Amino acid sequence: MYDYIKGIITAVTPEYIVVEAGQIGYSIITGNPFSFSALEGQETKVYLYQHVREDNLSLFGFKTTQERYVFKKLLSVSGIGPKSALAIIASGEATKLVQAIEAEDDVYLTKFPSVGKKMARQIILDLKGKLSDSMLDAAAFVPEKKRTYRWFASRLGRSGTRAWGTWLQRPRTEKNCTETGERAAFE
């Protein structure tokens, strides 16, 4: 298993890029090889995923670890193979894809190649709540109306009972109570 390759991009083709590292040229399949064309002739780090099949050994390349993570998660969805997952990653930004999955926006997901309404629902079903944990700012991927104290507490690893106890012990101010719809007697 490879994590990344650091080398000079020597060729950019419509299907793959070639990275030379240690006097060996590695053919790396990418979603949009032409996004690497500005880096041709320069030393670059490409994050890798090695896909092994009985008749094929392929390297898939990504510019960021977030793209690779989303790619791996897409592979876990029933009916999505490496080519389909790569097409989804290449067609949009990983952050927008995660936002669409968290918001259950199947209309956004159906714009990708080979993703129909049924496949979009399967992606949402399998990946909702599993992608935003990996990204740098998890709160950015959850719709504003779904950000609750329990949601944040679950991301911090607190148990529901302990989190709820902490919530009840918070200072009671008029602002806190009006935001949550609670009624409290103020002094």
Task: Give the model's pLDDT for residue 35.
Answer: 87
Q: What percent of the chain has pLDDT over 70?
A: 70
Identify whether the C-beta of residue 97 lies closer than 8 Å to the C-beta of residue 70.
yes
Q: Which CATH code fits 1-63?
A: 2.40.50.140
Return the higher-pLDDT residue of 140 and 40: 40
Residue 174 confidence (pLDDT) above 60:
no
pTM as predicted: 0.68
Q: Is 79 helix (H, G, I), strand (E, B) or coil?
A: coil
Q: Where in the chain are the domains?
A: 1-63, 64-141, 148-180
Average pLDDT over residues 8-18: 94
What is the rounded CA–CA span in Å between residue 61 and residue 45?
A: 10
What confidence tens digit (pLDDT) does each residue in 51-95 have?
998 898 999 999 988 889 889 999 999 889 998 999 888 876 778
What confidence tens digit (pLDDT) does each residue in 119-133 have?
999 999 998 888 766
Identify whether the C-beta of residue 25 lies closer than 8 Å to the C-beta of residue 19.
yes
Q: Which CATH code fits 64-141?
A: 1.10.150.20
